[in-house]
Structures are given as C-alpha cells and as structure tokens.
Amino acid sequence: MPGSPAPAPIRISKSKFVAGIQCLKRAYLQVHSPELADEGQEARLVKGQEVGLLAQKRFPNGVRVGFEGGIDGALANTATLMDDSSVPAIFEAAFQHSGLLVRVDILQRRRDGRWRLIEVKSSVSDKPHYLYDVAIQHHVLSSCGLDLSSAGLMHLNRGYRFDGRQHDLEALFTIRDQMKRIKELDADLPSLLKAQREALVQASPPDIAPGSHCTDPYKCQFFSHCNPELPEHHISFLRGLGVKKRQALVELGVSLIPEIPEDFSLTKLQARMRTSVTTGQTWVSPTIQKELSQLKYPLYFMDFESLSPAVPRYSGMWPYSQIPFQWSVHRQLAPEAQLEHFEFLAEDDLDPRPKFIESLCGVMGKRGQIVVYNAGFESARLNELADWLPEYKGRIENIRGRLWDLLPFIRKHVYHPKFRGSFSLKSVLPALVPDMTYDGMEVADGIEAGLVWEQMIRGKFAPTECEQWKAALLAYCRQDTLAMVKILERLPPA
C-alpha cells in the first residue's frame, strides 16, 4: 500500500542462525509461527542452564549482562563492562552487527587487551554442528572490531569423576580452540546468511520436505507440524525399511503395508509384519511355548527409573551418569501363586544408591528368573551400582545373572497389527492387553518420571502436591512391571 512504512528488518540471533543451518523452514517457523512448536523441550534446556552457570564459576569475578532493558540495555551494559579493565570476564555479552545479534556465553579479557570467546555446551564432546555457534559469534564480534585471540568451545569432560565433595571445575570442563576450523568456514558464512535473510522475509515458509534434517542434529521443535501422523499401516512402520526399498515401493505406488506385492523382497521380520497387518491377526512363532516353558519360578518382574543429570551429583559419578532413584518388582513364587508387589522411591536429595540396592537385594532372593523389558538398561545400572558399592557386588552379580529380557522375546515370537512397527512396552501393552494403557497417567514415561522426581527432591512442590506426585511416580513404575506380568499371561499360543 502506498505510503505504508517498510517492514522492520528481521534480526537473526545466534539460535535462529543455527536453526537455519539445520533447516531454513525451522528458522522461518521460529520467527513467524512459534506457536506451532511441540512441547517437551524443557529437559534439555534445564541441563544447559545448569552447565552454563557452573561454567561461569570457572571464571571468578566475572560479571553477567542481564536481560533487563531489552537488547539496547544489554548492548550498552556490555560496552560499559568492556571498558572496565577490572572485569576479567563477561557472561552473556551482547553484540549486534548488520542485523545479527549474539549473546556470548563467556567473553574473557586477556592480559594483552585481546578477548577470548567461549561457547559453552552441555555435551561431553565437540560435535561438528557446534562450529556454527562459534563461527557466527566470531563473525559478529570481529565485525564489531573486537580483537579475538581465540574462539573456544567449552564442554563437559567425559572422563571426569566427582569425588563427592566439591567439583573440580578445571577437570569437569574441557575447552577446545576453534579458530582454525572457523577460518575454514568463514567463506561460507555470507551465502548462508543471505539464504536465511531471503527465506525469513517471504510470505510463507520454504517448501522443504521432511527428511533426516528433522532430527539431525536435534529433533526440530516443529517436527509434528512438518511430519503429520501417518496413516495406519503405512510402509514407514516396516522395521528396517531402507531408503532404496522405500523408494522402490513408492515407485510401485505402494504406501500401505497390505499393498506390498507378495514377490517384493522383505526380511523375515518385515514379512511377518505384512502377514499380520494383511490378515488382521496376531502373528505367533511356532516355538513360543517351548521357550516360555524354560522360565523358572519364582518369577520376578523388575523395572528401574533413573535420572541422568549433566553435572554429576554423587561420589564416583561422571557427566550424564544415571542416578537410579526408583524400582518396582512384582513377584510370583509359583504358576498359581498370588502376585506380590514391592517398590522403592527415594524421597530426598541424599545419595539414593545405597538404599536403592539394599532394598532391592532384600526382595530378589537368590534364584528364579527376573523378567525385564530391554535388559540392557537394568543390567547397565546394576553394573554401575556394583562398581560404586562393591560391598553389594556379589548380590548384584546374582541378580544380573538371572535377567530374562522380554523385549527380544516379543520381537522374535509375536507381532500384532497394532504394534505399528514398534516393540516398545508402550506399544506392545495396549495391543496385547487392551484393558491396560499408559494414557491418562500423570506420569507416563521415563523422562517425565525423572523430571518429576528432580522437582520433588528439590522441594519444588507443596506438601500436598508432593504426595500426589509421589503416588504418580509409584503408579507409573508399578504399571511397567505389572505390564510384563499381563503380557506374559496374554501371550497367544502358537
């Protein structure tokens, strides 16, 4: 419309630039349609904040640039702190150049008057895509006239072990200089920025089809928007379907599993999936009962819940090591015996490991098989507990030696059309035991259980809320072990 003011230019932040490297559509939706984002990003953000605050402590007397006063206030505050030679480091320093805005995690003042840029990551390794974070900051700061002596990436040290008393920040973190790699990327930055600026001013998002970029290097917060739920029995649910086979089916005009021609090459698992879906019947291995008959009573059905904080909490732990905080066990002494239930939940922020394993050993006996779902998880936790608490090693080895994994058993012997290609407990249970479901539970998955427990032990809930969440955690873990009981009861004969 004549006389209308020109739209304000879109400012590209560090996070938007990195999002655009993954997918231009992701960056566009961040700017124009943030309400379309999926929920569930809080766990990674909380870990990043915890690591960032701890990283700052490695630079004593550093000063943080606040968010009060908006962008202009942050820019002015940064300039003031840079002029003050008594400030050794600035946290969240703000810089802007040609529509690019960055907040630098740590800007360290060097003795020669130069500056050291440090990007902090909560990972335990230097991942290739992190280079773009550092490169865009280096580009902006250099364009603003800063003389940078180095640009580094600071991340957690995988080999660090906490002594249980005080964190050694020099050992906890690793800093790797990125200057050489940045120089190799510098020539590409202008074209990358040009592509993003052009995309962001369009009236509609770029037409980018879903693909591996939807989850690599991160699962995009707009995944559900770009990847709507597939039709029931879509060929995507075929386990292990490679790109070539998928393309071949598409060229044949096949999109649903029952449409796959009989002479089309499939693996044994894919073939049984096609049979089950086409007939609408559960596929059952002819040897299922033979293998089930080998289970020896008493039977135990066991499940653990754990939390993996970025910063180790207790003695002997390392970054992202698992804290086992809850277990549930259902026990059946004989085929017709009454089912018994036992459980444990840590309720304070003290090291839960001794009570966890002591209480578990107290109910597991010395004989009888222990049914778990995906034994690798429980086995790994038990192995770690044996290392941390060697006085329990003998009893733990007895428990580990009796584990019987229901997951590969189901994968080998059963397929139900409603599995939709997944053998997870949450897919198998409602298909084989329709009267049991995780729908509507206050805590419905392991990640949520960890988040709730974390808030509970840190006193984030009022007393009445705490009791409600405690009950929800116990109900969730109990559901996992009872689910295995019911699945074995409902397994159809061959």
pLDDT digits (tens, 9 = 90+) for 4-48: 444 556 899 999 999 999 999 999 999 999 999 997 655 555 667
Q: State the pairing for strand pair 370-372/299-307.
A: parallel
pLDDT of residue 6: 45
pLDDT of residue 127: 94
Cα atoms found within 13 Å of the Cα of residue 110, Cβ hemisphere only? 13
> In b/e form, how buried is each residue of 413-440, taking b as 16+ CB within 10 angstroms?
bbbbbbbbbebebebbbbbbbeeeebee
> Average pLDDT for residues 271-283, to the nearest whole number?
96
Contact 334, 298 (CB under 8 A): yes
Mean of the per-residue pLDDT values for the chain? 94
pLDDT > 60? residue 204: yes
> Average pLDDT for residues 259-287, to the nearest whole number?
96
pLDDT > 80? residue 230: yes
The amino acid at residue 22 is Q
pLDDT of residue 40: 64
Over residues 112-164, the pLDDT tens digits come to 999 999 999 999 999 999 999 999 999 999 999 999 999 999 999 999 999 99
Domains of the chain plus CATH, in order, are: 12-200 (3.90.320), 235-281 (no CATH), 289-490 (3.30.420.10)
Helices (H), 266-392: 268-279, 288-292, 353-364, 375-388
* Cα(319)–Cα(162) distance, integer angstroms: 9
* Cα(385)–Cα(396) distance, integer angstroms: 8
* Cα(463)–Cα(27) distance, integer angstroms: 42
> Average pLDDT for residues 347-367, to the nearest whole number?
97
- DSSP designation for 338: P
> Average pLDDT for residues 82-104, to the nearest whole number?
97
Over residues 301-334, the pLDDT tens digits come to 999 999 999 999 999 999 999 999 999 999 999 9
pLDDT > 70? residue 393: yes
* Cα(138)–Cα(100) distance, integer angstroms: 12
Lowest-confidence pick of 42-46, 57-61, 197-201: 42-46
pLDDT > 80? residue 389: yes
pLDDT of residue 493: 77
pLDDT of residue 251: 96
Over residues 423-474, the pLDDT tens digits come to 999 999 999 999 999 999 999 999 999 999 999 999 999 999 999 999 999 9
pLDDT of residue 1: 40
